[in-house]
Amino acid sequence: MNPNVPQSAIDKVVAEIERMGSQPHISRGKFRAVIGAVGEEGNLDQEHLRSLDGVEKVVPIMKPYKLASREFQQDDSIVEVGGGKVPVQKVGGSQAMCIAGPCAVENEEMLHRIARHVRDGGATVLRGGVYKPRTSPYSFQGLGMTALKWMRDCGDELGMPICVEVMDTRQVADMEPFIDCFQIGARNMQNFDLLREVGKTRKPVLLKRGLAATVKDWLLSAEYVLSQGNRGVILCERGIKTFEDSIRYSLDVTSIPVAKQWSHLPIIVDPSHAAGKRDFVPSLAAAGMAAGAHGVIVEVHYCPSEAQCDGPQALLPEVFKELMEQLRKIAAIFGKEFAETAELVGR
């Protein structure tokens, strides 16, 4: 649309797109709006759309991921996590975010202790698994809704939004009132029914890259969420399977500049799952930030040997605090800034 057109002109274009059988998606910048028309190209009368008041130009988007592409939205998306009882945290553009906490919520006391450590160390969003996708059916599977309620209480007490993995479409409705951000794990990146279901909510979605997914595959999965009207997608690079066996997964730092060029969505890195061993986590986190990521998601535990899930990759609190000091310096070089948590420490 032309700069500063009235809302009535936008409404008219939206109505015409719907009349032609397509789905309108509005992206508002500082001075102008871009209206995406998603549907069968042959059903859209582009000449008619060009003739409508306020339309500057009609541009076909050639990428298969329409709403996630830079063609649809040039400016970086800023995704907000939180609100209500907890402060809103932002990621994208110049805003960096650290999400940290235990791999799995095993008991309430442990959760609160780790949450205080990560908050004081510089994290602004609390992570913790309540449903765990495990390779063996006999491994610890999580404590479900009981653990989720502990997460909610802990987040409210410490002023931290919570990010929790959802594994099944049947869990979405139960989890939505409690969480601030859904996490889609690597194994569920192409669970399209689940992507649609979280897309129908208006809670942000942290979408991890699949173990063997290309960047294009990853962005198409993001498109499933965006197509349902949910604009709050955060991409997460967590390593892919390669022939290299000296580390758990290969953290593909090249995916970060590629995804940033192709898409407006914010992207963070998960060095914990890529490394599989805490010794490598700080280096991978630093590499991800230097490659242009908007933040990190890290696992922390005060006694990793007691953890029932992924203890070897969890950072000790003092190491996590040192890592955050390093990441703040790297972020500053690239014009990004992590939110401060000092005002929350005294709560």
Q: What pLDDT sits at residue 345?
A: 40
Q: Does domain 79-345 have CATH number 3.40.190.10?
A: no
Q: Which of 15, 7, 12, 66 is nearest to 32 (CA)?
A: 7
| Mean pLDDT value across residues 163-177 | 97
Residue 42 pLDDT > 80: no
Q: Which of 102, 62, 116 is nearest to 309 (CA)?
A: 102
Q: What is the percent of the chain where pLDDT is above 90?
A: 83
Q: Which of 121, 40, 91, 155 is nearest to 300 (CA)?
A: 121
If residue 113 lies in a helix (H) or strand (E), which one and from where to where? helix 108-121
Give the Cα separation of 231 and 56 in Å (integer): 24
Residue 141 pLDDT > 80: no
Give the Cα separation of 186 and 251 in Å (integer): 13
Neighbours of 178 (CB within 10 A): 16
- Contacts of 155 by beta carbon, 8 Å cutoff, 6+ apart: 86, 115, 126, 161, 162, 180
DSSP per residue, 176-197: TTT-SEEEE-GGGTT-HHHHHH
Q: Provide the pLDDT confidence category of residue 197 given band limits of 50, 70 and 90.
A: very high
* Residue recorded with tokens 């940290």: 100
Question: Nearest-5° angle of CA 342, CA 345, CA 347?
Answer: 130
Q: Is the pTM of this model over 0.85?
A: yes
Residue 227 pLDDT > 90: yes
For the chain, the structural domain boundaries read: 7-51, 79-345
* Residue recorded with tokens 């794990």: 185
- Whether the CB-CB separation of 295 and 270 falls below 8 Å is answered with no
Quote the strand ranges of 172-259, DSSP E: 181-184, 205-208, 233-237
Residue 228 pLDDT > 70: yes
Per-chain mean pLDDT for the chain: 93
Based on the number of CB atoms within 10 Å of its own CB, is 118 exposed (0-12), middle (13-18) or buried (19 or more)? Answer: buried
Residue 40 pLDDT > 80: no
Residue 344 pLDDT > 60: no
Q: What pLDDT sits at residue 347?
A: 39
If residue 217 lies in a helix (H) or strand (E), which one and from where to where? helix 215-227
